Amino acid sequence: MSTIVCVSASGSPGVTTTALGMALTWSRDVLLADCDRDPSQAIQAGYLRGMDNGGRGLAALARLHRENRALAPDLWRHTVPLVQYGDLQRRFLPGFSQPATVRLFDTVWAELADAFTALDEQGVDVIVDAGRVGRDGLPLPLMAQADAVCFLTRTSLRALAATRLYLPLVAEQLERLPGSRALGLVLVDPNQPYAGGEIAAQFGTPCWAEVERNEKLAAVLSDGAPEPKRFTESSLMNQLRAAGLRLRERITNAAELERAITARTPGPARIPEHV
């Protein structure tokens, strides 16, 4: 199972749209968690078309934390469905309802991250929309539980200039944590004008996926626009589906490699009981 954190350097590179699209095309049960510390309620107002979340979301989880109640057992009931069809569960954890509540969550991130891990153990993957990095980086507990961090950027010079400022901050945070976590780029609107290979070489970070910009199709996800025919098989959704499959394959391969290395690592030598 896996937890994937999606993040960006600056506004509007398509983090929320990409994370939502991956959740809607994910090949397993999945939870999309809105952990953006610059709250906009974009999914509730956009894709979910103003749906009342019934008080569910991060604010409700913060109340549980203040009451010294464990989050993991109640996390699932504080989510809402992304879709009403299909064999797989696709759920959404609403984000902050007020900007002022974000700073009150500092002591909750660690327990929320543990609750995500508990979902992993139940066969549910978690995609975290973390929004912008910010000057202080990302909440370390979220990073500590992540299997992979996707850094989204457009390919214009302006977007890449912001990436140059914030990508090293994310990499530095990951390096401070025990264990290993993958960090890769997801390019939105590639080749406008710079290509993935150029960008990966410039930043020393692999390019995991590219998503073409299609405003009409993206509006279904960002603004709840009516779905055109065969939307789920559209070029946009196929690209997001492929990106998700590549991410899961990468995470699975990394986990298998780590298990193999651990299995081959000799333990401490035993001292004979009788000399």
- CA-based nearest residue to 17, from 152, 196, 184, 191: 152
Using the predicted structure, report yes or no on whether residue 11 has a pLDDT greater than 90: no
pLDDT at 254: 76
**Interval 28-43 mean pLDDT:** 96
User: What pLDDT digit, counting tens, does each position of 249-264 carry?
Assistant: 988 887 776 667 667 7
- CA-based nearest residue to 34, from 59, 64, 52: 59
CA distance 173 to 155: 24
- Is the Cβ–Cβ distance between 221 and 21 less than 8 Å? yes
73 or 85, which is more confident? 73
The pTM of the full predicted model, rounded to 2 decimals, is 0.92
Using the predicted structure, report yes or no on whether residue 272 has a pLDDT greater than 80: no
Which amino acid is it at 7?
A: V
CA distance 188 to 195: 11
Spatial neighbors of 24 by CB under 8 A, at least 6 apart, are 82, 83, 90, 221, 232, 237, 240
Q: How many other CB atoms sit within 10 Å of the CB of residue 216? A: 10
pLDDT at 63: 94
User: What pLDDT digit, counting tens, does each position of 115-132 carry?
Assistant: 999 998 899 999 999 999
Domains of the chain: 3-262 (3.40.50.300)
Q: How many other CB atoms sit within 10 Å of the CB of residue 97? A: 16
Using the predicted structure, report yes or no on whether residue 275 has a pLDDT greater than 50: no
Structure tokens at 109: 């991130």
User: What pLDDT digit, counting tens, does each position of 224-245 carry?
Assistant: 999 999 999 999 999 999 999 9
